[in-house]
Amino acid sequence: MAALKKVLVFSDGASRGNPGPAAIAYSIHEESGRRIESSARVIGVATNNEAEYQALLLAMERARTFCRDSAEFYLDSELVVNQVNGQYDARDDRMRDYLLKVRSMARDFKQVRFTYVPRETRHIRAVDAMVNEALDRAG
């Protein structure tokens, strides 16, 4: 596949308990909306915020295999989006480490944007369902 000029990426992470069994998922789309890759996996025990960050980091890693120009990342975690965009500080050491990794990986793209979207949004609903299916399978 030729390198794309822009990708739209949706990610979600969740835990059942906080911390508790956790899973992550992402979905990568061409600018036209056509899905080019999606995946979900269980990550062990994590907090909700850790799962959200891990989902974003995996999504970023996969997105850069398709595109290095423009990437738009959509998450349903206001906390993560606001930390990444600099509106909130990451006070916890683990969250700060995740934030630094996201900012470092963001440099792999010429343009990058992180946007909060409600869970009810179609693509976020889909990755949320993938997360829950992975957790259900893990038992």
Range of the domain at 107: 4-138
Number of domains forming the structure of the chain: 1
Tell me: the pLDDT tens digits for 69-107?
999 999 999 999 999 999 999 999 999 999 999 999 999
The structure tokens listed for 50 are 């850790």
Decide which of 107 and 1 is more confident. 107
Whether residue 80 contacts residue 63, with contact meaning beta carbons closer than 8 Å, is answered with no
Report field, pTM of the whole predicted structure over 0.85: yes
Whether residue 52 contacts residue 94, with contact meaning beta carbons closer than 8 Å, is answered with no
Which amino acid type is present at position 7? V
Residue 125 belongs to domain with CATH number: 3.30.420.10
Q: Residue 77: its pLDDT value, please?
A: 97
Specify burial of residue 89 (Cβ count, 10 A radius: 0-12, 13-18, 19+): exposed
Whether residue 114 contacts residue 51, with contact meaning beta carbons closer than 8 Å, is answered with no
> What are the φ and ψ backbone dihedral angles of 55, each rounded to 5 degrees?
-65, -45
Tell me: the pLDDT tens digits for 27-57?
999 999 999 999 999 999 999 999 999 999 9
Identify the helix (H) or strand (E) that includes residue 135: helix 122-138
The structure tokens listed for 41 are 């996996």
